[in-house]
Chains A and B, each alone.
Chain A
Amino acid sequence: MNSAAEKIDGKNGYNFAFLDENAKKEIRRRILKAISIPGYQVPFGSRELPIARGWGTGGLQITLSIIGKSDILKVIDQGCDDSVNAVNIRRFIKSVTGVEMTTDTERATLVQTRHRIPEKPLTKDQVIIFQVPFPEPLRTVEPSEAETRRMHAEADYSRMWLYLYEDIVKCGEISIGARYPVFVNNRYIMDPSPIPRWDIEKLNNSECLNLFCAGREKRIYAIPPRTSVKPLEFEDFRFRIEDFKGNKCEKCGSANSYLDETIDEAAGTRHYYCSDADYCEKNLNNAVRK
């Protein structure tokens, strides 16, 4: 229980950043262990929040545990600042912290994200927090938690390699799109959350701290700055990113960003737009100025 001295005038009497201070303490301790052992999944006691599990409660708990009054927060969902999940999370955090919100990637000190990394490289003064639905990359090949824990402990990843090999034999391609498994610090195989392959390279030797949390699965893990992150690949079958076949964003004209594909069923045509809404808007504004 918090002492009276620890109470603050949060919205409707809630503690600053909603979580009680002991909950924050536990999550903070786990974050430090996660940073100390890059790629290792640290178990933690996931708390109840006023949103359903599976809708970003992991990322939310990390954000609420580290956020301070001077932070500027950006929340994105699939690169977009205005989707329902991002808007709801942003409104909730605003209501229990009062911190400034932004859609500008460069201004943000904290970025909470669902399934994308902003196109603009993040800096050493920024922290990105990933919402993770399935933290265990080996679950595809092994249903038992005890067994996957043993596999990580012994770095026994042969079944994962075999799975990738069989995928190539069956499909002529590794069929994993998002959630492509990566090797972190040459030790742990890690699930980078359902970011597209396009974003994997941004994790490698990044300047920012990357924090991952799965609220439903109760796991926290991290990639510190300047840490080796390599996608799993074979010497004769290299990892490759999405190919947009020369298409460009129809709004800003960018050919260097991850594109969302939409299909106009009535006209039978495909359209491409930047997934990163802030990146696209800045490109448009720059074009108008010129």
Chain B
Amino acid sequence: MGTDIKIARNQGTFRELMNAFARPGSLAAITPSSEGLLMDVLDVLLDHEVSFCVLGKNKESMEPEITAVTGSRTADTGSADFVIFAAGDTGDELYKVKRGSLEYPDKGATVIYYGAVLDENKKIADHSFKGPGIAAGTGFTAPGIPEGELKKLSEINSEYPLGVDTVIISENNILCIPRSSKIGVVK
């Protein structure tokens, strides 16, 4: 039985994504397709049933491309299911992202940062983690994601179970921060 390459790739990418969500702070190494890792991840998650928006300088070029590949529709920041930022300071836009309701916290958006740098070999982490799925002493380093950005994420997720779930994507690695994770700073 031969398996289609795209189906197999999507399944493999999802499993890495699932493991990364189950173990926040751990890096999932994924060999990207020619489309790049961001598009691989979007192809796993997006379809016509969900909406997305891209914020930043690449909005005009990326949104039509993502719609063409996934069939997903665009929406404004406050109502999109997936909000895609270039790694860096997002200003106040992050505060507009929907956080779900107490009855349906799963309606909170998934925030995706692309173009980050995730260094597997850097031994000293800048940020500490606590919460479900996290081994004691787990930390992570994500150059390109400013300190203030992580503080904003902590603030947005402070009223758990309301909040957003975050995926940070580098060239060939993924790191996930579900809303259940508490981010600290390693002094």
Interface residues of A, Cβ cutoff 8 Å to B: 5-11, 15-16, 21-22, 24-26, 28-38, 40, 42-43, 66-69, 97-98, 124, 149-150, 152-154, 185, 187, 209, 223-228
Query: How many contacts A-B (CB < 8 Å)?
Result: 122
Are A185 and B180 touching (Cβ within 8 A)? Answer: yes
- Chain B interfacial residues counted at CB < 8 A: 42
Known: A35-B21, A187-B160, A226-B132. A68 touches B11 (CB 8 A): yes
B27 nearest CB across to chain A (Å): 15
CB of B103 within 8 Å of the partner chain: yes
Q: Is the CB of B1 within 8 A of A11?
A: yes
Closest approach, in angstroms, between the C-beta of B70 and any C-beta of chain A?
9
Pair A69/B105 contact, Cβ less than 8 Å: no
Q: How far is the CA of A42 from the CA of B21 in the complex (A)?
A: 16
Query: CB distance B17 to A32 under 8 Å?
Result: yes
Q: Within 8 Å of chain A (Cβ to Cβ): is B92? A: no
Tell me which of B45-53, B57-65, B142-150 binds A.
B45-53
Residues of chain B lying within 8 A (CB to CB) of residue A37: 105-106, 161, 178-180
Instruction: Report if B134 contacts A (CB, 8 A).
Output: yes
Kindly state the separation between the CA atoms of A6 and B9 in the bound complex, as whole angstroms.
11
A98 to B2 Cα, complex, angstroms: 10
In contact, B2 and A8 (Cβ under 8 angstroms): yes
CB of A69 within 8 A of CB of B3, answer: yes
Chain A min CB distance to B40 (Å): 13
Q: Kindly report which residue of chain B lies nearest to residue A25, judged by CB atoms.
A: B47
Chain B residues numbered 131-187 whose CB sits less than 8 Å from any CB in chain A: 131-135, 160-161, 165, 178-180
Q: Which residues of A contact B3 (CB under 8 A)?
A: 8, 16, 69
CB pair B132 A224 closer than 8 Å: yes
What is the 8 Å Cβ interface bit string for chain B, positions 86-113, against chain A (1 contact, 0 not)?
A: 0000000000000001110110001000
Cα A11 to Cα B105 with chains together (Å):
39
In this complex, the member of B11, B50, B132, B179 whose beta carbon has the largest number of chain A beta carbons within 10 angstroms is B132
- Chain B residues with CB under 8 A of A40: 105-106, 161
In the bound complex, residues from chain A placing their C-beta under 8 Å from that of B15 are 66, 68
